Amino acid sequence: MIQKAAQAKHVSQATSLLEDETMFLLPLVKELLRIPMEFDVSRIMKDTSSKMLDAFVDSVFKFVDQPYLPSQSNFLPVEEIGRDIMIDDIEGQIPTDFPMGVYIRNGPNPLFGGLKTAISWFGQSSHCWIEGEGMLHALNFIKDSQECWTVFYKNRYVETETFIQEKRKNKPSFLPALEGNSPAILAAYVLNLLRFGTVNKYISNTNVFEHSGKLYSVAENHLPQVIDFNTLETITPLWDIDGAWKRPFTSHPKKAPGTGELVIVGLDAVKPFFVLGVVSADGKKLLHEVDLKIERSTLCHEIGITQKYNIILDCPLTVNLKRLIKGGPLMKYDKEEYAKIGVMPRYGDAESVRWFEVAPHCTFHILNCFEYGDEVVVRGCRALGSIIPGPEFGHDKTEWFSRGFQSAALNEATGDINIEYGHFFSRAYEWRLNMMTGEVKEKYLTGTSFSMDFPMINDKYTGIRNKYGYTQVVDSIASSNAGKAKYGILAKLDFEELATTPKKEQVNSEELIKVEYHKFEKNSFCSGATFLSKHGQQHEDDGWIICFVHNEETDTSEVHIIDTNHFESKPVAKIMLPQRVPYGFHGAYFPKSVQQQKLHGA
């Protein structure tokens, strides 16, 4: 009855709008009258169709700014500077053995003031908090012959094809197509496709990575953009591996230990849902491509690797067009659905994947994977639900976050799977998959005191057994108040040492690992943390964590350098930035030696 009433309301609204010629028909007529008397038919037809569609969207859809709370101020976008600004305010000292290079963090920086909601007689659709055009923030570290450091800051948009299209129009143009009610999202899909050739913007706002001396910016819904290390300029064309890769590209490709080959995946909303590829170490050839014949479009944000295997997470966070057409959400986490982890040889096919059934979960980020005897060990940050895309449409996001970041300990202790709280409280977790017997052992590695995500390790240990990992830790209260995730602590995980004394907040009897914490100042939160090895490191944890930090009381942003051997101590250096840097996603440090690979023919 409710659905029929809603449909009747949409029909009524549609009739009203169609009767209003000044709103709908007149702009179309005006555009038609501009057609010249002599013209190239095909060109003008295409141009006229585009203008008619633009006029229709302008008439029927209204873009509204999504409101921001005071606690969300550092999620607001900033202006692009695009040039180097020398920094002369540094507290502490940049270590002399810190490598020269550039630290870059990606993140959403919406055009035209912020995220939008589009309202029409189809209903309304909204940008999700993960959307927004990609903006790179970079610190360039230069050392002279006297061991003196000079640091420069710059920021710059990732200029994707759709970024250029919308900037030329100088107004919001792409209709939101991820979060909203079904008719509005379907309308957005069709109209975006007709007007721009794609159903959604190419945001390129999630991660940055290097392969064979080249820098790339990437998000799940498109190919990587090539970026100039020094200028942050977007370089054309896109990286499609010499035309061989024609699909979206994972935000977290992995370099295979030993060979330097890059393992990638491409997800899509239509079959084939999941395609895996292996790129040559020089980045010039697609050595292997295979459809894994997964039966649903699962949002696998990250792939894992070991020395021999590729690791696939098949979680019940899915994109389903049929569900959308029937009136349901496009993207949904369904806790009643199955979860599996697949293990396949590096160059295997769909039949070679060994699937292990595991407890339902949502894991966006993997800490590491490695082989250990007959077992493949997978470690990641596991939650009982998904923080993406957000609450069901119309629900209060602040309330939703408040429930979601409460500790899930009570639900787990009582065995209640119909969880109300803690559904995206994320903890370090381990799966042990026995390749001989098919047995699965899984357990939490950290307790219920803190939710953590955005993990990182010493990347020299990617795919092989490692002892240490690092994560960003959620400030549950600040996140609940803001309705968006904020990270107020860093954690260092020791996988081979148990916690000395159980904390009173822990309600289960599992043995939990040792964790150290690096706490920021009050009302200060970080993003883009990454691990950087010391030159000539003797141990796995010989290095630094470098991250962007924003102080909400002073509204100032800094970059902190933290010695991982003295993790709980103050940063060795705090670099004061010339402007505010909004919270973002993943960052990476690229030493000069990596940037110069291409110059030496690597």
Binding residues for Fe cation: 252, 301, 365, 586
DSSP 8-state symbol, 593: H
User: Looking at the chain, how many residues does it have?
Assistant: 602
What gap in Å lies between CA 242 and CA 219, rounded to an integer?
19
User: Distance between CA 317 and CA 332 in Å, rounded?
Assistant: 6
3-state secondary structure 72-98: HHHHCCCCCCCCCEEECCEEECCCCCC
d(CA 481, CA 70): 10
Find the helix packing angle between 25-33 and 41-60, rounded to 10°: 150
Instruction: Give the residue numbers of the binding site.
Output: 252, 301, 365, 586
Asked if residue 369 lies in contact with residue 378, where contact means CB atoms within 8 angstroms, the answer is yes
Reference 441, options 509, 508, 377; nearest CA is 377
Alpha carbons 514 and 541: distance in angstroms, whole number: 14
CA 144 to mean position of chain CA atoms: 36
As a whole number of angstroms, the distance between CA 487 and CA 426 comes to 13
Q: How would you class 204 by CB atoms within 10 Å of its CB: exposed for 0-12, middle for 13-18, buried for 19 or more?
A: buried
3-class secondary structure per residue, 141-196: EEECCCCCEEEEEEEEECCCHHHHHHHHHCCCCCCCCCEECHHHHHHHHHHHHHHH
Q: From the centroid of its chain, how far is CA 140?
A: 23
Residues 6+ apart with CB under 8 A from 428: 367, 379, 380, 381, 382, 444, 445, 446, 452, 455, 469, 471, 493, 513
What's the rounded Cα separation, in Å, for the pair 368 and 349?
23
Give the Å distances, CA to CA, from 550 to 34, 140, 554, 557: 51, 19, 9, 4
Helix (H, G, I), strand (E, B) or coil at 44: helix
Residue 2 Cα distances to 6, 169, 184, 518, 575, angstroms: 6, 39, 17, 51, 56
CA 20, 21, 22, 24 dihedral sign is: positive
Separation between Cα atoms, residue 171 and residue 58, nearest integer Å: 11
Strands (E) in 22-71, as ranges, are 62-65
